[in-house]
Structures are given as C-alpha cells and as structure tokens.
Amino acid sequence: MLTNGKTITAVVAVGALLAAPAAGLAAKGANQGKGATKRCAKVSGLSYQVGGTLVSVTADDPATPASEASVTLKVTSANAHAAKSGEIADQSATKKGVQVKGATYTVAAGDAFTLKLNGYEGTDTPSAGDRVKVSGKIALTKKKCAPAGTSTADRYAAPDVKRVTISDRDADA
C-alpha cells in the first residue's frame, strides 16, 4: 500500500510540473498585445549623416526669432539611414540600393540647426565647393510595428538636423 501511495504522489508531482509551463505559456500569450503596444511605442532615433560640397548658403538673421538659415549641397556621401530615408533621390535606378552621390540636398530654412564654420579667417566666407557635413537624428518605425506593405522609406520620419558644418577648402583671401 505504501508503494501505491508513493506512485500516486509522484504522478501528481509530475503532472503539476507539466502543467506549470503550459500556464506560463498561456499567460504570455494573453499579454502579447500589451507587449507589442509597448514595444511599438518606442521609436528609435538613428544617426543621420550627409556629406558633400557646398552649392549655396543663406545665413540666419539674428534679429528675428525664426531661423532663415538654409544650406544646399551636392551630395558625395550619406550613411545608410540617410540613403534609405527617401530624403535624397536615388541617382541610379539600374544599380542595386540607393545611389545618392551627385544628388542636390537642401537643409531648409525653419530647421533649428547649428551652423558651424571651420577654417574661415577674417572676412573669408563660405563659397561654392567648400566641404559640408550635415548631422542629425531620424526616427524609424520598426518593421513589425508598421502596417503591412509599408516601404522602408515610409517608415522613416523627417530628419531632425542638429548641426551643419562647413569647412573652408579654398585659398583664404
């Protein structure tokens, strides 16, 4: 009789161990929607870098509260997020990926960015051909959180340009 009691106790214990993981899985499935909502609420801010040569620049008027500064450049390089964001037009439909070299890119007036000038002495001012680097952040919606069929470019938000650096490349006057 004692042997049957041990057997029954062992069977009950094994059954309880097998039921615990199933209860854990059921609980996880019940909270799946909450986790997805929480996960999709977080949008990552990724690095946005574009480099090129200066075409034109308009300085900000310090007397007004709004920013009138704008910079136009001919793109020579861009990081992956800048290229995939759709902000810079693809320059070659026949090549694989997004080809940005040679495109014209403008950081528009109204963007609150810091304009930094490197290597300018005295009355020297930025001129066409000077080196330009645009730095900022860009938000990207996760693929799992975007509606089905959304393109990569549509998952990127508008870039938040933080700084534009113009470096002197010509002889000083």
User: Where is 30: in which H helix or E strand?
Assistant: helix 2-30
Asked whether residue 68 carries a pLDDT value surpassing 50, the answer given is yes
Evaluate whether residue 172 is within a structural domain: no
Give yes or no for a contact between 163 and 114, defined as CB atoms under 8 angstroms apart: yes
Evaluate whether residue 120 is within a structural domain: yes
Q: Are residues 97 and 154 in the same domain?
A: yes
Asked whether residue 120 carries a pLDDT value surpassing 50, the answer given is yes
Q: Are residues 89 and 126 in the same domain?
A: yes
Evaluate whether residue 146 is within a structural domain: yes
Evaluate whether residue 173 is within a structural domain: no
Q: Are residues 15 and 83 in the same domain?
A: no
DSSP at 122: T
Asked whether residue 18 carries a pLDDT value surpassing 70, the answer given is no
Q: Are residues 93 and 129 in the same domain?
A: yes
pLDDT at 111: 76
Residue with tokens 């009691």: 5
Give yes or no for a contact between 53 and 77, defined as CB atoms under 8 angstroms apart: no
- Determine the structural domain holding residue 26 and report its residue range: 2-30
Evaluate whether residue 36 is within a structural domain: no
Q: Are residues 95 and 19 in the same domain?
A: no
How many domains would you assign to the chain? Answer: 2
